[in-house]
Amino acid sequence: MLDPRFLDLINYALCDAVNQFLGPSKALEFFRYVGKAHYRELKKSGLIKPVGNPLDLLESIARYLEKAGYMERIEIRRVSEGEAVVDMYGVSVLDSSVRLTQEKKQPSHIMTNTMFAALDELGYSAELIDLMFEPDKNHVREKWIIKKGRNEKK
């Protein structure tokens, strides 16, 4: 079994190195590409079955990330056809992501970038709004607004 602290430390080390070599702006672009590569490999390996409904697809990715141990639990509450509130509990890379953000560096945001890639492939994009951050409870809440049309910047 993989110790989540190991994953958190490796996440910090990789993100720190990417930020040092590329700078924060290019690091963001790099991590977006990592999300695309991750989604491609998930489909190729059969771990994710592509579906046409954007929120169903996000749900599928969330279940995979839970099974993989990346997060303990991801709740996706659909507010409307194109909006959802996403609660993340037990984020394995929370400490490293907070530290990187405080250092003005880009975190990997594997879940977000994988979901962005999946939405993009369907012809959608997403706007995220931070709603709650409880680091002591390892709980993050975001609102996802799904929009028809791909992100301008790839």
Give dist(CA 96, CA 99) in Å, integer: 5
Instruction: Give the CATH number of domain 4-148; options: 3.40.640.10, 3.90.1150.10, 3.30.1380.20, 3.40.50.300.
Output: 3.30.1380.20
Give dist(CA 63, CA 14) in Å, integer: 25
Q: Is the CB of residue 119 less than 8 Å from the CB of residue 31?
A: no
Q: What is the per-residue pLDDT for 154? A: 43
Model confidence over 1-19: pLDDT tens digits?
A: 778 899 999 999 999 999 9
Each domain of the chain, given as residue ranges in start order, spans 4-148
Q: Is the dihedral of CA 114, 115, 121, 124 positive or negative?
A: negative
Model confidence over 102-140: pLDDT tens digits?
A: 999 999 999 999 999 999 999 999 999 999 999 999 999
Model confidence over 46-97: pLDDT tens digits?
A: 999 888 899 999 999 999 999 999 999 999 999 998 999 999 999 999 999 9
pTM, two decimal places: 0.92
End-to-end CA distance of the chain: 35
